[in-house]
Amino acid sequence: MESLDLRVLADALAWRRAGHAVTLVTVVETWGSAPRPPGALLAVRGDGVVSGSVSGGCVEDDLIARVKAGERTALPSMIAYGISKEEAARFGLPCGGTLRLLQEPLTGTAWVEQLLARTAAHELVARTLTIATGEVTLARASREQAMAFDGTQLTTLFGPRWRVLLVGAGQLSQAVAQVAQLIDFEVLVCDPREEYALTLDVPGAIRMPGMPDDVVRELGCDAHTAVVALTHDPKLDDMALLEALRSGAFYVGALGSSRNQARRKERLAEHFGLTEAELARLYGPVGLRIGAKTPAEIAVSIVAQIVECKNAVGQAVTAAGCAVA
pLDDT (tens digit, 9 = 90+) per residue, 206-225?
Answer: 999 999 999 999 998 988 89
Task: Give the number of residues written for the chain.
Answer: 325
- Phi, psi of 163, deg, nearest 5: -140, 155
Residue 97 has pLDDT above 70, yes or no: no
Q: What is the pLDDT of residue 264?
A: 93
Q: Tens of pLDDT along 116-134? A: 999 888 789 999 999 999 9
Residue 30 has pLDDT above 90, yes or no: no
Q: Is 73 helix (H, G, I), strand (E, B) or coil?
A: coil
> Percentage of the chain with pLDDT > 90?
65
CA separation, residue 89 to residues 29, 46, 58, 81 (Å): 19, 27, 10, 10
Mean pLDDT, rounded, for 153-172: 93
Report, in angstroms and rounded to the nearest whole number, the Rg of the chain calculated over CA atoms: 22
- Res 237 pLDDT > 80: yes
CATH number of 162-319: 3.40.50.720
Nearest one of 102, 100, 64 to 81, comparing CA atoms: 100
Each domain of the chain, given as residue ranges in start order, spans: 4-158, 162-319
Give Cβ neighbours of residue 267 (< 8 Å, ≥ 6 apart).
234, 238
Q: What are the residues whose beta carbons fall under 8 Å from the beta carbon of 209, sequence distance 6 or more?
A: 190
pLDDT for 60 = 86
Residue 317 has pLDDT above 60, yes or no: no
For residue 92, what is the DSSP state? T
Indicate the pTM of the whole model. Answer: 0.73
Per DSSP, the chain holds a count of helices (H) and strands (E) of 12, 15
What is the rounded CA–CA span in Å between residue 311 and residue 307? 6
**pLDDT for 34:** 57
